[in-house]
Chains A and B, each alone.
Chain A
Amino acid sequence: MSHDVNPLVILVASILTNNILLVYFLGMCSFVAVSKKIETAAGLGAAVIFVLTATTPINWLLNHYFLEDNALAWLVGPHLASKVHLGIFALVFFIAVIAGFVQIVELVVERFSPALYYALGIFLPLITVNCAILGGSLFMVEWKFNFMQSIAYGFGAGAGWALAILVMAGLRKRMRISLVPRGLEGMGITMIVTGVMAMAFMAFNGIVPV
């Protein structure tokens, strides 16, 4: 991916062809744990969409104006800026931003939907360490997106993750009539079904030129 790709194309790509869960397998832990019920899956999906859409552009600004090589030129002049390499702190700063936003989400959910708050339990604050969300910020740096592209990517990656967990919750509801061998119950069968989902999504591979 590069600078000249239309943000709309990035949006479609991050949902279908480069789905953050089904292609990169990021964010698996909460995906497996919270996909038992459709309601909670939808709630966590919405939370992930919000956090990714907000943190990816903010981290872009942070990266562009403070962390990149020579990023501080606007503040301390080009000579001094070329000697400062704050890039090594990228992970710390990104996580701090994400943690802040997750706190906001937690407060809002607890205030307006206590039922969802208790259903999600530990997995709501754990969005902080959801690798899909940190992955969104790191991919955005890696692929050298501009600001608009990073907004599109943040929203698309979140929507892709939410779509995947909704589909999985639906399938798990249907699988209540299944008789899974005891050794594969729960985690095992969910992993296998995720693999099948990833296989089916490979049909979209290459549908958009990124």
Chain B
Amino acid sequence: MNFLLKLMKKFEPPFKEGRLKRWYPLYEATETFIFEPTVPTPGAPHVRDAMNTKRFMFLVVMGLIPATLWAFYAFGWRPLAVIIVSYAVGGIIEVGFSIARKEEISEGFLVTGLLFGLVMPATVPLWLVAAGVAFGVLFGKEIFGGTGRNPFNPALLGFAFVYLSWPVHMAPSAYIVPTMHWPGYLAKYLHSGNMMVDALSGATPLSMAQVHGYHYALAHYSLTDMFFGFIPGATGEVSAVLLLLGGLFILVTRVANWRIPVGIFIGVGLLSGILYAINPGKYYPPLFHFVAGGLMLGAFFMATDPVSAPDTQGGKWLYGLFCGMNIVVIRQFAPLPEGVMFSILLMNLFAPLFDEIFLRRRARKEKAYA
């Protein structure tokens, strides 16, 4: 390690004050990628302790690894290509803006790029991935000044953009049915060209339920299939159990605040329970809501983004509850089969107002004591 450190330090002078000064962010990123930096994070977000943004983001990525590996098993190597394109395109934009702003390159993108790849269907065209991630990073983050200064989650914004712009590529026919037989599609690279030969495309349980009712969806895939991940869906969202595992990991390490996912689950359970009690033939049972679709991915990894979520504890509860209820409303009443991503994006908009309610209450209380 000493030898590596010496090598890095040898290259430092031209970057620090020499002729390569403009490219210093690139040097800094490489150095702190290999070695622990001795200075704490100077800017937003999280200035509280020695835990810096880089470690923080790595923990989130670690939480996502089980679900990502499952995506390779269930849908072949195509999801890996999607993630690589997502990282490459978004990374170039991120590095370009960091250099232009003369700031360190932020690791927030490691999470955004991975999350964006995981919400795409397996056979999505790669140019569409590039367009979506570019839009998300540019308009969701960079024009607000980069990581920590953005009011929306960039991965969600990119998703909403491609979903509304190219609905054909996000239609039910873009999703692959995973095989139950070992070794899954591990040896295959499935895309829209060879998909019909090597694998079947199939509607997700939620779009089945929307068209034919949830009984039809349950006749095709049991709740256990959905829980373990043998259903068609976006590459990273299908296995509820692995996402639960990763989600608990980021809750235990305190990277994510537990109030938000718990609030979302209460909101979904409450509203879907009421609707199910009113008309069990038409409205989905609560358990179906939990395991079908992207609820686990959204609740643990998207909604808990500390930058776009509310800061106050009460605000987090409201944010989660409303988000959960909104998910049920969209799934049951809107023409969209799945509402997790849009609900969280909507709640991103309302997050500052939720905060405002509790900040004002606190200010009033303090005034009353004084």
Q: How many residues of B contact A (CB 8 A)?
A: 36
B319 at the interface (CB under 8 A from A): no
B44 at the interface (CB under 8 A from A): yes
Docked CA distance A181–B349 (Å): 21
List residues of chain B with CB within 8 A of the CB of A201: 346
Q: Which of A50-58, A127-135, A165-173 contacts B (4 or more CB under 8 A)?
A: A165-173
Q: Is the CB of A167 within 8 A of B150?
A: no
Q: Which of B126-134, B258-266, B282-290, B331-339 contacts A (4 or more CB under 8 A)?
A: B331-339
In the complex, which residues 325-350 of chain B have their Cβ closer than 8 Å to any Cβ of chain A?
Answer: 329-330, 333-336, 339, 342-343, 345-346, 348-350
List residues of chain A with CB within 8 A of the CB of B150: 178
Q: How many residues of A contact B (CB 8 A)?
A: 29
Q: Which of A38, A166, A170, A189 has the most CB of B within 10 A?
A: A170
List residues of chain B with CB within 8 A of the CB of A192: 139, 143
Find B346's partner among A170, A171, A180, A203 (CB 8 Å cutoff). A203
B164 at the interface (CB under 8 A from A): yes
Q: Flag A164-205 by CB within 8 Å of B: 1 or 0 each.
A: 001100110111011111001000010011001101111111
Docked CA distance A192–B356 (Å): 23
A206 at the interface (CB under 8 A from B): yes
B144 at the interface (CB under 8 A from A): yes
B79 at the interface (CB under 8 A from A): no
Chain A residue at smallest Cβ distance from B165: A199
Q: Is the CB of A177 within 8 A of B345?
A: no
B195 at the interface (CB under 8 A from A): no
B247 at the interface (CB under 8 A from A): no
Docked CA distance A193–B349 (Å): 9
Besides A197-B349, A200-B342, A207-B333, 16 more A-B contacts (Cβ < 8 Å) are: A38-B353, A166-B353, A170-B352, A171-B349, A171-B352, A174-B355, A177-B149, A184-B143, A196-B140, A196-B152, A199-B161, A203-B336, A203-B343, A204-B330, A205-B335, A206-B335
8 intermolecular pairs with C-beta atoms under 8 Å apart = A166-B353, A171-B349, A174-B351, A175-B144, A178-B144, A202-B342, A203-B342, A204-B334
